[in-house]
Amino acid sequence: QAGTFKQSPWSATTTKTVSVCSLTDVMSEQLAKQLDEESNAFPDFPDVVLDVGEALDTDSDLMLAQMLQMQFDKEFDTQLRTEEKKFNGDSKLSISFENYRMVHPYEDSVSSEDEVDWQDTPHDPYKADKPMTTPRKGFTGKGKNITTKHDEVVCGRKNTSRMDNFAPEVNVGDGLGMDLKLSNQVYNSLKQHCYSEQRRSSRLHEKKEHSTAEQAVDPKTRLLMYKMVNAGVLENINGCISTGKESVVFHAAGGSMEDKAVPNECVLKVFKTTLNEFKNRDKYIKDDYRFKDRFSKLNPRKVIRLWAEKEMHNLARMKNADIPCPEVVVLKKHILVMSFIGKDHVPAPKLKDAMLSSEDMKKAYYQVLHMMHQLYMECNLVHADLSEYNMLWHEGKVWLIDVSQSIEPTHPHGLEFLFRDCRNVSTFFQKGGVSETMNPYELFNVVSGLELTGDSEADFLVQIEALEKRNEDHVQRRGKKTYASSTSDGGPPLLHDEDD
């Protein structure tokens, strides 16, 4: 259609032709989109120069500054998230930059103000409700619907809720959520098991804290070692050299003492304070007449100190007889400081591990034979655990170690231990190819000076036991108790603490 209209009442009438379009074109989506874009388009305004000198409202400036700061914080947080994602990459372990993000007070919160995090409240909406408690009267309901406190279902749910009182290390799971019902018998068994496990865990922890284990020392032993360093007896303590059934051996650098010289390299023999290794060792000391009276009056832990003192006295006897052995520096409770058999932090090899030629093996055999005879005749001792594991090869000769279990021949089982030593020595050197090696019976007679005969080991042991019995009766009639007070055999000094 076409029509006319007036632009103003004073102007001449003009005719304007209006384009005709159909209804389909008007409802067209393309046309609607075009109209929408035209309506949303911003007109291009020329650059407007603001008058700096114009007085602006102070409140408006503050709002503008806050909006600019908020925009800056958003851009900074976006950049920080990009850096965080780039830094973590595909790693399973990610590092958060949350603490470095800017939180603006005017920034809209994603969550509603009325929303409350249930984790910050004492009530957990996902936690199963605890069973209802039985009232004081002991039952609920009326008539046939009475439920007492002894009801099976009520008791089962109540026992399940009580599992929350178990120790934290006991994983009880979500029994309430599963509507689990425990009988009294099962609950009591679980309760007793948890109690037993707690006691066992405490006992193991206490044992670990107060005992010397493999290559480790308890706090009290560590304190004694630090005291030696602080006193100047040792310069420093290095790593562990070896471990055995009864002790742990550490290497140390020697310091100085006023009354005697300290070697440049020393060893600390720390006797284990665990009692398991000493339960079958009491026979070596309780029947030794030097320590018999003291052994009966000591508790098991003090026996370990007595064991260390026993080795100190035995080494002192051997040193007086010029038998190659470690020299004792000082004894501190259950820690024995001795000279180091080796060089430059490298311990001397055991006779079992030493690579000896046939001549050196033959030389070692005669040295061991001579030392056994000296030990028996001059030191009045029997090693009682002599083998290739307790003999070292250093500077072309054999050194004896580990004499804490050594006893006197008057011990009720002294001759039996001597025969066992002879058997170990003969077996080792026979396997080593020494043709001059004597059998255990001949070696026993040579070392002890006795003249026992026997076709078999059983017959030989019968004669030894008879001789031990006769010696024991003779010693008991004489009332021999030969314990020296402290260092009568020329031993080193004993260090005592204030608590001894």
Which residue numbers are catalytic? 385
Nearest-angstrom CA–CA distance, 37 and 44: 15
Q: Nearest to residue 489, comparing CAs of 305, 319, 250? A: 319
Count Cα atoms within 13 angstroms, Cβ side, for 490. Answer: 10
Alpha-carbon distances, residue 167 vs 123, 175, 182, 412, 419 (angstroms)? 22, 16, 18, 53, 56
Q: Which residues, 6 or more positions from 314, have their beta carbon under 8 angstroms from its beta carbon?
A: 379, 381, 403, 404, 406
Nearest-angstrom CA–CA distance, 499 and 223: 14
Nearest-angstrom CA–CA distance, 40 and 303: 98
